[in-house]
A and B are shown apart, each in its own frame.
Chain A
């Protein structure tokens, strides 16, 4: 059976830079201070017409470069496309960060020398390789909402529904509908045409 691939998509026409997603993520997974699995960034800040905000985290790439460079092979890609890693295998070398286009992997410092500890990144709320919903899994990777049939917390909390998550085809379908209905209807008086089309 061919599984659908799970993807995030952030609709920059809707993102209002409220930071709700990253706060929701940090709270739900009880992340330590200094670690932000998700972050809202604003591109072309101050340039009229070009400025937009978007929310980024691990993008769960189909060809995940982090998985390609890991010297201890601690990454695995689930059949639904979610890219996860084994923190007990990870040595905190930093290679995945160098390979990542999005700067997603982060390294809490640990021990007396302050060496890089095991990497932390977005799990798409799917936990890790440990027993599902075990205390240890929750401690190391945060909630496993996927196993409970719930939507990842960031997308669930997004107030404007800019941040979408799901199998790539459904996400594309939603975006297509949004794009094709944009600049039409009462919400956009500039291109307003007929009040009552049927007459």
Chain B
């Protein structure tokens, strides 16, 4: 027993000693990293990241944080929400599995997005304990999202493929610019929802990967180095840039998603809670789907 304990301690000690030598950033690789900075043939990611983070990222996030909800506030005041009567007829559109997967992703995003903003505006919050706590939550809630992102991608893939209805949907912006209630061409998901699907799934995976790079920082993936021809530090710089730029899209569409389900279409959020969609709502906002369901005798 004692023998194993000693072996365990020895392994730990060796692992920490090896850390310094094998390091992709502070070990032998450091020379390559230094020489790569700002050299003619290099990607100049160091100066690029410095410039973007110093001058632009926080301002763009601020613009999105104010601009997107601002536009929706005006939309709500001028055009107003769509209200559909509660009918007797409902259709069971999301089973328990769909709802659980979605809810796990939803909770993850509700934590990840605000904590992301706290990090971006870390100086406003004074840094220290609170921002550090948010950084840890940001990383922690990436775990449940990572678990559900693939199941979510698979369960809605068929409905999220773009088709001709979507061109027409985009031309009238889904009818959200008018108060009229006339049937809009769309399947189970309309073009806007499909767009959110792709940004949440592909963008989400990009956020997970670039976030994981920044979390683990010092790791060795020979394959990735060979594939990209980049040094570890340049890959980290690229990850930081990608995490921010993709973050713009994820945040903008996340806010849109929340506005649509919570405010723009009254009661729409109920469908992902109970699983049932209202007939009226489907008839108007997803008319192609409605026809199909009607033919199948589902309504």
Contact with B along A87-112 (1 / 0, CB 8 A): 01111111101111111001100010
B54 in complex: contacting residue of A34, A39, A68, A74, CB < 8 Å: A68
Q: Are B122 and A71 in contact (CB under 8 A)?
A: yes
CA distance A154 to B49 in the complex (A): 31
Cβ-closest chain A residue relative to B213? A94
CB contacts (< 8 Å) of A103 on chain B: these are 25-26, 30, 33-34, 233
With known contacts A90-B127, A103-B34, A115–B135 Cβ distance under 8 A: yes
Asked if B217 contacts A99 (CB within 8 A), the reply is no
B21-58 residues with Cβ-Cβ distance < 8 A to A are: 25-26, 30-31, 33-35, 37-38, 46-47, 49-50, 53-54, 58
A106 touches B127 (CB 8 A): no
Q: Contact between B128 and A88 (Cβ–Cβ < 8 Å)?
A: yes
A97 partner residues in chain B, CB cutoff 8 A = 25, 217, 233, 236
Assess the A115–B25 pair: CB atoms within 8 A.
no
> CB-nearest residue of chain B relative to A111?
B136
Contacts of A36 in B (CB 8 A): 20, 26
Known: A39-B26, A102-B34. A71 touches B119 (CB 8 A): yes
A92 touches B53 (CB 8 A): no
User: A69–B208 Cα gap in the complex (Å)?
Assistant: 22
Do B46 and A99 touch across chains, with their CB atoms under 8 A apart? Answer: yes
Closest B-chain residue to A69, C-beta based?
A: B53
B123 within 8 A of A: yes
Partner of A89, one of B34, B126, B233: B126
Beyond A91-B132, A95-B240, A101-B37, whether A34 also contacts B20 by CB under 8 A is yes
A65 contact set on B, CB distance < 8 A = 46-47, 50, 54
Query: What is the CA–CA distance of A73 and B58 in the complex, to the nearest angstrom?
Result: 13
A100 to B26, CA, bound (A): 12
Q: How far is the CA of A91 from the CA of B121 in the complex (A)?
A: 12
Q: Is A43's CB within 8 Å of the partner chain B?
A: yes
Is B262 part of the binding interface, using a Cβ–Cβ cutoff of 8 Å?
A: no
Contact bitstring B5-33, A, C-beta under 8 A = 1, else 0: 00000000000110110000110001101
CA distance A141 to B16 in the complex (A): 22
Asked if A174 is at the interface of the complex by the 8 Å CB criterion, the answer is: no
A115 touches B122 (CB 8 A): no
Residues of B within 8 Å of A116, CB to CB, are 215, 217
| Contact status of A101 and B217, CB under 8 A, knowing A36-B26, A69-B54, A71-B119 | no
Q: A74, A99, A101, A113: which contacts B127 (Cβ < 8 A)?
A: A74
Whether B207 sits at the interface, judged by CB under 8 Å, is: no
Q: Are B135 and A98 in contact (CB under 8 A)?
A: no
Q: Is B188 on the interface with A (CB-CB < 8 A)?
A: no
State whether the Cβ of A125 lies closer than 8 Å to any Cβ in chain B. no
Residue on A nearest B23 in the bound complex, by CB:
A34
A71 near B120: Cβ-Cβ < 8 Å: yes
Query: CB of B139 within 8 A of chain A?
Result: yes
Query: Across the interface, which residues of A come within 8 angstroms of B237, CB to CB?
Result: 98
Please tell me if B214 contacts chain A, counting CB pairs below 8 Å: yes
Cβ of B140 under 8 Å from chain A: yes
B126 contacts across to A, CB distance below 8 A? 72, 89
Q: Is B112 part of the contact surface with A, judged by Cβ < 8 Å?
A: no
Report whether B140 and A92 are in contact in the complex, using a CB–CB cutoff of 8 Å. Answer: no
* Among A33, A92, A107, A113, contact of B132 (Cβ-Cβ < 8 Å): A92
In the assembly, what is the distance between CA of A88 and CA of B131, in Å? 11
10 pairs of A and B residues whose beta carbons are closest in the complex: A72-B127, A89-B127, A72-B122, A71-B122, A101-B37, A68-B54, A73-B123, A69-B53, A65-B50, A99-B50
B residues with a Cβ closer than 8 A to A are 16-17, 19-20, 25-26, 30-31, 33-35, 37-38, 46-47, 49-50, 53-54, 58, 119-123, 125-128, 131-132, 135-136, 139-140, 214-215, 217, 233, 236-237, 240
Residues of A within 8 A of B (CB): 33-34, 36, 39, 41-43, 56, 65, 68-74, 86, 88-95, 97-103, 106-107, 111, 113, 115-116
A-B contacts, 17 listed (Cβ < 8 Å): A33-B16, A33-B17, A34-B16, A34-B19, A39-B30, A56-B30, A65-B50, A65-B54, A69-B53, A70-B123, A72-B126, A72-B128, A86-B127, A94-B240, A98-B49, A102-B34, A113-B139
